Every structure is written in structure tokens, then in C-alpha cells.
């Protein structure tokens, strides 16, 4: 979001009328810089300190990583192998990294420190780590690690829900990031919990949109639903139809643009269950991220990073009962997803 309010609809309609796929001309100038945004469900990332308050599966992973330094070392090694691979900024790592299934602030800091240790260029080191404990359900919250400075106070939305809001600013342009992890299909077969997550995020976005229709508002997460499911399409209001988003007028309810809908149609998957791939991990973008001012989405940049795979699907790290040697383990049962953002100077 620019420091000065701007009118979104005329720019969007002008871009559509000009036949552009996305983004007005200002976002394409050489005077702007791009940033790689990544979301990743890193699957059961626990820290090195025992927490006796945890229960069930959380207690199992908490005890394992706290008591077995080699297990934690190898988990972090695999996570860094993906995040510092050539697919991530040519080995520099994402500029903004949102994570899911993180036990604690300490666990997120361990990821940051492991990344910084491997980055020889100190200008690329990560400083910011944001974590808030929703204090409900499993200890697998969301967190954010960033090279872009935080402004304001990060906060959680909902009650006991994994919906973390962080505002970032570069060149006086603000970007609101919602990092979320919706209820699973195992515990929420009917999908009511996922719909509740979507509606809470939608309501917050609408408040921001009423204040400034050009607000740069990005929602990412493990939705545990595909781009075609009701919670994403109807309750969150995210569509893969870019022209539909751009054609909306001043009196119409805004929609998010979901670039991962096309990847799902192309047969991509971020998580696999019963032999089938699902695009559960997504990044969706407000109309303000399509107007070529402030923060903007770089057209066609959405990607699923298929690294550390086994038989065409994410190779998970596993747990203490897994008998595979360390060298045969992956990082997570989810692939990371990325988009590239441009910031005007």
C-alpha cells in the first residue's frame, strides 16, 4: 500500500481495456525491485526445548527434537536445502518466508539462524522473525521470516485459529501478509472449520478494502482445500479468473486473484493423499496487488517448488518411528509455493 491512498478501479479497468494479462505499466519499469515470497508448510517443526504441556502427536515430536540433536540438525538441514536451492532466488532464499506447522518462536528462530549460517553474504541475512501462539489445538502455528521490515504490531485473527497478520513496508509501501493454516480434512470432514477460517480472513480484508480499495493484501497458507472448493471460491472470494477480478467496478464486491488455480488445472500438487495431488498451499492477491502501484504481483510468477521429492511427490522428513537413514529423508510432506512481487520506488 502506498503512503498516499490511490484509486484502484480505474487503473485495473484501464489495464484490462489495454488487453494486458495483469499489472499496469508502472510495475514493469526498471525503477522497481522484485522480491520472492514463499509459503511452506514445513510439517512438524519443533524446537530443541521440551514442553511438557504438549499432548498426543505434538508431545512425540517435541520430545524427539528436544532429545535428539541430530534429528533437529537434519530437519533444519533439509529445510535449508530447499529454501536455499536454485529455485529460490538463485540460491539466495526467499525475501519473505511464511511457514506453517511451527511449534514456537524458538523453532522459527532456529530456521532463521540456520539460513543465516549458510548465507555468506551478510546483506542477505534475515533479521525479522514473527510468531504468535494461537493457544488452541495442536502446536503447529504459522510464522514469518523476512528481510523486509515489519511495521505496526503483528496480530492473530479469530479465536484459537492459525491466522497471523503481519504488515511489511518497503519504499514506504505497505504490504499486509496473512499467513494461515486451515483445519485439516481429517478433523473437519464437512469443511465448516475451513469456511470459518476463510470468512474471518475475508471480513478483515473487507475492512481494509473499505479504508483503501487499493490496499496491498496477500493471503497465503495451507488451506487444506483446493482453489475450486467452496471455502476458497465462495467464503474467501478467491478466483483464478483474472479478467473477472480486473473487470469489477466500484460498486462490486472485490475478489482475490488466485494464480494457483491454473497450476491446479495443470495437474500440479503441493500435498499428496491416497496417491492424488492437491494444491492445498496457495497465495492469493488483492486487486491492489494487480494495479501496478506500491506492491504488485509479477505476472506468471506463481510456482510450486518440487524439490526433495520421492516418486513424484514431496518426500517427508518423518518422525521418530521412521527407520530411514538421514540421507534418505526429505523435508516435509508439502511442497513450498512462491510468487514474485514488485515494489515501486
pLDDT in tens, 170-209: 999 999 999 999 999 988 889 999 999 999 999 999 999 9
Per the domain annotation, does 176 fall within a domain?
yes
- Phi and psi at 139, nearest 5°, equal -90, 65
Per the domain annotation, does 227 fall within a domain?
yes
- DSSP states of 70-118: HHHHHHHHHHHHHHTSTTTGGGT--SEEEEEEE--HHHHHHHHHHHHHH
Q: Per residue in 159-178, pLDDT tens?
A: 999 999 999 999 999 999 99
Q: Supply the range of the domain harboring residue 235.
A: 8-343
Per the domain annotation, does 1 fall within a domain?
no
Per the domain annotation, does 305 fall within a domain?
yes
338-to-69, 204, 282, 331, 335 alpha-carbon distances in Å: 30, 23, 9, 17, 10
The answer to whether 165 and 126 are in contact (CB under 8 A) is: no
CA gap 303, 298 in Å, rounded? 12
Higher pLDDT, residue 30 or 221: 221
Could you give the number of structural domains in the chain? 1
pLDDT for the residue numbered 189 = 87
Q: Which CATH number fits the domain that encloses residue 245? A: 3.60.10.10
Q: How many residues does the chain have?
A: 345
CA gap 135, 180 in Å, rounded? 14
Per the domain annotation, does 161 fall within a domain?
yes
Q: How many CB atoms lie within 10 A of CB 200?
A: 19
User: Any idea which residue has 522497481 for its cell?
Assistant: 32
Secondary structure of residue 64 in the 3-state scheme? helix
Q: What angle do CA 300, 221, 99 make, to 5 degrees?
A: 105
Maximum CA pair distance of the chain?
A: 61
Per the domain annotation, does 90 fall within a domain?
yes
pLDDT for the residue numbered 288 = 97
CA gap 307, 302 in Å, rounded? 16
pLDDT at 332 over 60: yes
Secondary structure of residue 310 in the 3-state scheme? strand
pLDDT for the residue numbered 187 = 87
Amino acid at each position: 500500500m502506498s503512503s498516499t491512498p490511490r484509486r484502484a478501479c480505474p487503473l485495473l479497468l484501464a489495464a484490462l481495456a489495454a488487453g494486458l494479462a495483469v499489472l499496469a505499466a508502472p510495475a514493469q519499469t526498471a525503477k522497481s525491485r522484485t522480491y520472492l515470497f514463499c509459503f511452506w508448510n514445513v510439517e512438524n517443526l519443533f524446537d530443541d526445548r521440551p514442553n511438557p504441556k504438549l499432548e498426543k502427536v505434538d508431545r512425540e515430536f517435541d520430545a524427539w527434537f528436544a532429545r535428539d540433536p541430530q534429528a533437529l540438525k537434519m530437519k533444519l538441514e533439509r529445510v535449508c536445502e530447499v529454501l536455499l536451492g536454485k529455485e529460490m532466488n538463485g540460491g539466495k532464499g526467499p525475501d519473505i518466508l511464511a511457514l506453517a506447522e511451527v511449534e514456537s518462536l524458538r523453532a522459527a528462530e532456529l530456521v532463521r539462524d540456520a539460513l543465516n549460517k549458510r548465507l555468506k553474504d551478510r546483506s542477505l541475512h534475515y533479521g525479522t522473525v514473527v510468531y504468535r501462539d494461537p493457544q488452541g489445538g495442536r502446536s503447529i502455528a504459522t510464522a514469518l521470516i523476512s528481510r523486509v521490515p515489519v511495521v505496526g504490531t503483528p496480530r492473530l485473527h479469530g479465536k484459537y485459529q492459525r491466522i497471523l497478520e503481519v504488515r511489511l513496508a518497503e519504499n514506504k509501501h505497505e504490504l499486509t501478509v496473512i499467513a494461515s493454516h486451515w483445519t485439516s480434512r481429517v478433523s473437519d470432514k464437512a469443511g465448516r472449520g475451513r469456511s470459518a477460517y476463510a470468512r474471518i480472513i475475508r471480513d478483515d480484508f473487507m475492512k481494509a478494502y473499505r479504508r483503501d480499495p487499493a490496499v496491498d493484501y496477500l493471503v497465503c497458507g495451507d488451506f487444506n482445500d483446493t482453489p475450486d472448493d467452496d471455502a476458497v471460491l465462495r467464503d474467501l472470494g478467491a478466483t483464478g479468473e483474472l479478467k473477472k477480478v480486473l473487470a469489477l467496478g466500484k460498486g462490486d464486491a472485490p475478489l482475490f486473484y488466485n494464480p494457483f488455480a491454473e497450476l491446479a488445472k495443470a495437474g500440479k500438487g503441493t500435498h499428496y493423499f491416497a496417491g492424488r495431488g492437491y494444491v492445498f498451499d496457495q497465495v492469493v492477491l488483492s486487486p491492489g496487488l494487480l494495479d501496478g502501484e506500491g506492491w504488485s504481483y509479477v505476472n506468471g510468477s506463481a510456482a510450486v517448488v518440487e524439490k526433495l521429492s520421492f516418486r513424484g511427490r514431496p518426500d517427508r522428513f518423518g518422525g521418530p518411528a521412521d527407520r530411514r537413514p538421514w540421507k534418505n529423508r526429505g523435508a516435509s510432506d508439502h511442497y513450498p509455493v512462491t510468487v514474485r512481487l514488485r515494489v515501486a520506488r
